[in-house]
């Protein structure tokens, strides 16, 4: 692979070229950081996909229950309609106080059944609309994931091209140096002449060119992701309906090679902490669950926000993003 060639040949053969190496290394680091950002974006997308799939599971259950409830009410509605027609027919043919009471009761039962069918029909329509919206979001998220994977593949190819270019320059420089050494070895040495010692002028040291500085910019897709997750969390915590459940009294996060950190309970089975992260491919353990995440090199030592969503323990979610993204949204 090109990266292995870079490690073995480029570092060994180009270290003498100073500033040129620094510039090439800086350009490579920029491309590698872009790749890490794309991988981080893919992981964030997959977390959002899990949330949509969890919501879909919930709505599929609601949809099934609402349809069953509506079917039962429609059966009751039909029975009350038949009873109303029978009570009306009997009262019209032989009107008595008993038949009048029966008719009044039948009218009330029919009105209640009709109201119930209308109410459950609206509820079913509401659930169906939300279910369709979630399916649309699911399709869009899967499409976004596919596009991000394509970008990652293209970025990996670009890094390979950068490394190949660096290796080619290293090989060309090594060939030129070898030819120069060979020419010096084959050139006859002139006879030594006795001359007065002449002080050689000192060579002026030329400082290596500084590596180009790269202005750090916050990825717009990262900001959009943080904004969506903040909105989701705010809406969830502000919802007065439902149980304010706390499954864990002492929930801990164990980073790769780090110390255990304690989550803060926010409400509705949402837990939060802020911790410093290390660059690279990291594994975060929460109880028995393990979550793998990519931290870009430029985020090394940065404080990250961790939000653990434990509403569905069969598929818990870990949301994480740099704290500076929150500051950018203020």
**Separation between Cα atoms, residue 284 and residue 288, nearest integer Å:** 10
Q: Tell me what pLDDT residue 197 has.
A: 54
Q: Tell me what pLDDT residue 136 has.
A: 95
Helix boundaries (H) for 205-320: 220-238
Q: Tell me what pLDDT residue 177 has.
A: 87
**Separation between Cα atoms, residue 146 and residue 314, nearest integer Å:** 25
Nearest-5° Cα angle at 295, 211 to 10: 40
Domains along the chain?
A: 2-186 (1.10.287.1490), 222-329 (2.60.40)
**Separation between Cα atoms, residue 136 and residue 147, nearest integer Å:** 17
> pTM for the whole thing?
0.68
Q: Tell me what pLDDT residue 194 has.
A: 58
Per-residue pLDDT tens over the stretch 275-315: 999 999 999 999 999 999 999 999 999 999 999 999 999 88
Q: Tell me what pLDDT residue 179 has.
A: 84
Positions of the chain with pLDDT lower than 70, given as ranges: 1-21, 188-216
Q: Tell me what pLDDT residue 167 has.
A: 87
Q: Tell me what pLDDT residue 242 has.
A: 78
């Amino acid at each position: 692979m090109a990266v292995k060639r870079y490690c073995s040949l480029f570092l060994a053969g180009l270290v003498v070229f100073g500033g040129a190496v620094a510039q090439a290394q800086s350009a490579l680091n920029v491309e590698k950081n872009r790749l890490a950002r794309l991988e981080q974006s893919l992981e964030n997308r997959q977390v959002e996909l899990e949330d949509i799939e969890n919501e879909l599971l919930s709505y599929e259950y609601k949809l099934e229950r609402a349809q069953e409830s509506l079917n039962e009410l429609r059966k009751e509605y039909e029975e009350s309609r038949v009873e109303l027609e029978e009570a009306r027919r009997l009262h019209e043919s032989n009107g008595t106080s008993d038949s009048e009471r029966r008719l009044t009761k039948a009218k009330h039962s029919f009105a209640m059944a009709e109201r119930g069918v209308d109410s459950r029909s609206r509820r079913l329509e509401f659930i169906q609309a939300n279910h369709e919206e979630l399916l649309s979001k699911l399709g869009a998220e899967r499409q976004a994931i596919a596009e991000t994977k394509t970008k990652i593949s293209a970025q990996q190819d670009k890094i390979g091209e950068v490394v190949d270019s660096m290796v080619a320059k290293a090989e060309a420089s090594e060939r030129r140096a070898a030819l120069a050494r060979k020419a010096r070895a084959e050139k006859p040495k002139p006879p030594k002449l006795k001359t007065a010692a002449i002080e050689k002028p000192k060579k002026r040291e030329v400082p290596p060119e500084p590596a180009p500085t790269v202005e750090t910019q916050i990825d717009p897709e990262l900001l959009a992701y943080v904004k969506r997750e903040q909105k989701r969390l705010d809406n969830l915590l502000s919802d007065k309906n439902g149980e304010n459940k706390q499954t864990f009294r002492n929930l801990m996060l164990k980073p790769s090679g780090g110390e255990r950190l304690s989550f803060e309970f926010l409400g509705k089975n949402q837990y939060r902490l802020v911790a410093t992260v290390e660059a690279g491919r990291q594994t975060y353990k929460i109880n028995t669950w393990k979550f793998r995440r990519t931290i870009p090199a430029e985020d090394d030592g940065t404080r990250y926000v961790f939000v653990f969503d434990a509403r569905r323990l069969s598929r818990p979610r870990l949301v994480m993003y740099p704290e500076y993204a929150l500051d950018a949204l203020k």
